[in-house]
Amino acid sequence: LGETVISNVKPCSSKGTRNVGAVEEPLKAEEKNKSADISKQKEQCLVPCDVQAKILRGEKHYMCRNLQNSLVEYARSTKKLVRNMMDDQQSSLDYLSNQVNELMNRLLLLNAEVLRKHLDPLPYKAVQSHGLDCTDIKDTVGSVSKTPTGLYIIHPEGSNYPFEVLCDMDFQGGGWTVVQKRTDGIIPFQRTWSEYLDGFGDLSGEFWLGLRKIFHIVNQKATSFSLYVDLESENDKHAYASYDGFWIEDEACSFKIHLGRYSGNAGDAFRGYRKEDNQNSMPFSTFDVDNDGCRPMCTIKEQPVKSCSNFSDNTGWWFNQCGLANLNGVHRYTGRFLATGIHWDTWTMSNKPVKIKSVSMKIRRTYNPYFD
């Protein structure tokens, strides 16, 4: 039986082997053709791919430039916006500061008015003594009885009328006629030419005696006068500047000031350090009558200045260009910030001009023809 089964199994035909080989040959040919096509496509793609890469790189650079420009523009616009906001904030702060200063001014003026109405600032009224000046009163009345510091009536030679003055009878032997006094800033010194001519303020407080009155006092016959400037700083330090041979010219010459020799410990701010600082022999100036040395313009702290009076808050003084002294400047007080103020810039501490709280200018005869 086993032999019968084996004999019935037919051997594999060689025809089947030949069929497999026939199938493999076309497949290999097809793969070869595909490889050739791919190689051909690769060769054809070489040039376009280089171009495409260049295009992509160009687009990349373009996008980067656009992004960079956008960032720069954004930074600029943001910076401008912040700067505008800061400017707006500063403007608001300046406005509020000005409002506060104005309210403080009004409050000070109201306080001063209340004091004037309810208090007698001096324990005595003006003495009916028609002396030529305070030195004359001291030498005449003082020879009989002690003359106290206070208000007196004088009638200098050449004046058409008598007027009241404050006489300091205590300082250095007395006989001083006070021509200017600053203490608390209650009286504004931003005045017109006519006001500086006739004088203003309160003789018992702050005042300017008046250019006409000063002229008549110092231009009496056979007399000469000295000028004493008494300064007090904000920290209560004192200094002075004294000049002999003080006088001023008449109104036709705009009250030019003339000063003799200087002595003191505050420095000679009237003459200063440079030619353009020198206020000696300069006419008086106000904001509405400009006689200063700025022709046509001065340079102060690297800023062009046409009028020293305008630069000095519309106060009056013997300005040159514009000089180191202005005792009529706007009074400083806590919380107020000003470009200028009362200043005597030769008085320094730590190489900086001292901030001045109060000042007085007083004159006295150095030669009295009646009591030689």
pLDDT for residue 337:
47
Convert the pLDDT of each residue in 92-117 to its tens digit.
887 887 777 667 666 666 666 665 55
pLDDT for residue 230:
98
Residue type, position 345, single letter: D
pLDDT for residue 106:
66
296 cis-preceded (ω within 30 degrees of 0): yes
Phi first, then psi, for residue 24 (nearest 5°) are: -65, -35
pLDDT for residue 65:
80
pLDDT for residue 78:
86
pLDDT for residue 333:
53
Q: Is the pLDDT of residue 246 over 90?
A: yes
Convert the pLDDT of each residue in 140-186 to its tens digit.
886 667 889 999 999 999 999 999 999 999 999 999 999 999 998 89
Instruction: Please state, rounded to an integer, the average pLDDT across all residues of the chain.
Output: 83
Three-state SS letters, 335-360: CCCCCCCCEECCCEECCEECCEEEEE
- Mean pLDDT throughout 26-54? 64
| C-alpha to C-alpha distances, 316 to 105, 139, 212, nearest whole angstrom | 20, 33, 14
Convert the pLDDT of each residue in 68-85 to its tens digit.
888 888 888 888 888 888
Q: Within 10 A of 124 (CB to CB), how many other CB atoms are there?
A: 10
Convert the pLDDT of each residue in 3-22 to its tens digit.
444 444 445 444 444 444 55
pLDDT for residue 102:
67
Convert the pLDDT of each residue in 296-326 to its tens digit.
888 887 889 999 999 999 999 999 999 999 9
| C-alpha to C-alpha distances, 57 to 64, 68, 336, nearest whole angstrom | 10, 16, 64
Q: Is the pLDDT of residue 335 over 50?
A: no
pLDDT for residue 208:
99
pLDDT for residue 361:
99
- Mean pLDDT throughout 282-287? 98
Query: Confidence class of residue 46 from pLDDT cuts 50, 70 and 90?
Result: low
> Residue 249 in contact with residue 280, Cβ under 8 Å?
no
pLDDT for residue 55:
78
Greater confidence (65 vs 114) lies with: 65
Nearest to 327 by CA among 339, 318, 336, 335: 318
| Dist. CA 149–CA 132, nearest whole Å | 16
The residues facing 150 across adjacent strands are: 167
Q: Is the pLDDT of residue 219 over 80?
A: yes
pLDDT for residue 44:
55
